[in-house]
Amino acid sequence: MGTIPRQMLINRVTITFAVILALIVGWNAYVAANNDGVLTGQVVDSGGRAVGGAKVTITARTVAHDLEIGSIVSGDDGVFRFEKHGQYNLVLTAEKDGVGKSAPRHIRLYFRNQDFALETPLVLSTGSTNAQGS
């Protein structure tokens, strides 16, 4: 049985496709390890104190429309946690009677259901209207 010539195994075509295959496998492995849809963050007031009992709303944003898909109440330490959000482009808002409302926080993810932790908390204040990107 003859052996395959080295030039047929290692050339620019096979190397290019091998690199592409490796990138695809690597990316899918990364996605599989980070697609639990866990979205965490914290709600604070304008003085930086944690706000418990704030209603945090998640809204899916597509090129066609915005659609509210769920809400959750923050814990005593102001921390909230969504699971299996199932989105790649979303907007978070938080509000609590007597404390105020946060500016909408637009979050874009690299894949659907990506795990994500907000780096800066949602700040409740009276009269917040400006959108913030993330």
Partner 1 sequence: MRSRNADWPVHLILIPVSILMLVPFYWVLKTSITGENIFAYPPSILPSDPHLFNYVEAWYSIPFATYFINSILVVFLAIVANILIDAAAGYALTFHFRGKRLIMLIYLSCMMIPFQATIIPAYLITVNLGLVNTLLGIALPHFSHIILIFIFKASFDALPRSLPEAARMDGVPEWRILLQVMLPLARPAIATSVVLTFIWSWNDFLWPLIVVRDDDVSTLPLGLARFLSYFEDTTAALYAFVVMALVPGILVFFLAQRQFIEGLTAGARKG
How far is 105 from 50, CA to CA, in rounded Å? 17
DSSP reduced 3-state for 79: strand
| Window 17-56: residues binding partner 1 (CB under 8 A) | none
Using CB under 8 A, which of 71, 88, 118, 132 touches partner 1? 88
How far is 90 from 69, CA to CA, in rounded Å? 10
| Residue 111 Cα to chain centre, angstroms | 8
Using CB under 8 A, which of 49, 81, 84, 108 touches partner 1? 108
Q: Scanning the structure block, which residue is given the tokens 């996605």? A: 31
Interface region with partner 1, contact rule CB under 8 A, candidates 46-54, 58-66, 72-80, 90-98: 58-66
**Beta carbon nearer to partner 1, 46 or 62:** 62
Q: Which residues bind partner 1 (CB under 8 A)?
A: 12-13, 16, 62-64, 88-89, 108-112
